[in-house]
Amino acid sequence: MNIISFDIEEWFIERAFGGGREVRYREFDEFLDKILCALDARNIKGTFFCVGQMAAEFSDVVRKIDAAGHEVGCHSNTHRWLNKMTRDEALEDTKAAVDALEQLIGKKVKSFRAPAFSIGMANKWAFEVLAECGIERDASVFPAVRDFGGFAEFGQKEPAIVKCGSTQIKEFPICTAKILGKEIAYSGGGYFRFFPYWFIKCEMDKLNYAMNYFHIADLLPESNKVMSRVAYESYFKEPGTLLNRYKRYIKSNLGKSGAWNKLLKLINSTDYVNLDQADISIDWSKAKLIEL
């Protein structure tokens, strides 16, 4: 089972942190059209995790995704990381996002992904928050150590049922591969841009389950600029030192020139489903129960 997913936030991020440049909006629009066309040519439906404010500020983008028959999931309301919020803040944020998306598309939003995969052991209460907001399945667990935390203690690389308090939720974790003794999430983000196609495809073919995740900004061929200190600290909520900003610059630009062609090759050679389709096909009575 191969799941394809996209995190849709670029339009909102550009307005909030990039100055709202129309040329950037057009680039995002054009690239979204390319993605939708490529998926349609293979009759593939993906899950598109949309920031709630996209429904308010860029409703045409969310409507276009929904009209093409793809699943609209939730990616928080303003792309704040859950591990930087209190439980009450996360509840308010998620409720607002889910409500905005549901009001726009007229359908129940069942799937969620936290920005930066920001659910871990320290804020495991997030699963209870998601359930309270009507979310039935989550794709936020990064079962390895990463820059922004990760959830190495999760110990599961395939779909599982998470039990937290009185809540149960279906979890679709990111898949990883062990490279030089370290678990690496090769199937999306910077590592997808870094590793060659043959390696990614080979690792996916070894598994019964793989989750690909993409951002439009990762697929655009041109390089991002070094963020200003103010923009960096506003977005990442950490000191915007020159070192931190250049590290982020390098990570965000590595392998961008070939990323789109790599993704297109994957789409044309892989049978993908979205989370909704995957949920239906899984016998959850045989899934592992993770008690937190």
pTM of the model: 0.90
**What residues have CB less than 8 Å from 196, skipping those under 6 apart?**
none
Q: pLDDT by residue (tens digit) across 96-143?
A: 999 999 999 999 999 999 999 999 999 999 999 999 999 999 999 988
Residue 266 and residue 113 in contact, taking contact as beta carbons nearer than 8 Å: no
Q: pLDDT by residue (tens digit) across 181-228?
A: 888 888 888 888 888 999 999 999 998 999 999 999 888 866 566 567
pLDDT at 225: 64
153-157, 197-201, 202-206, 244-248: which has the minimum mean pLDDT? 244-248
Residue 137 and residue 3 in contact, taking contact as beta carbons nearer than 8 Å: no
Burial of 86 (0-12, 13-18, 19+ CB in 10 A): exposed
pLDDT at 285: 94
Please report how many Cα atoms fall inside a 13 Å half-sphere around the Cα of residue 26, on the Cβ side.
Answer: 3
Q: Which residue has the tokens 């979890």?
A: 171
Class at the top of the CATH hierarchy for domain 2-222+256-287? alpha beta
Decide which of 34 and 150 is more confident: 34
The tokens describing 40, both together, are: 């349609």
Q: pLDDT by residue (tens digit) across 249-278?
A: 555 555 566 889 999 999 999 999 999 999
Tell me the C-alpha distance between 212 and 80, whole Å: 22
pLDDT at 205: 92
Length of the chain: 292
How many other CB atoms are found less than 10 A from the CB of residue 60? 10
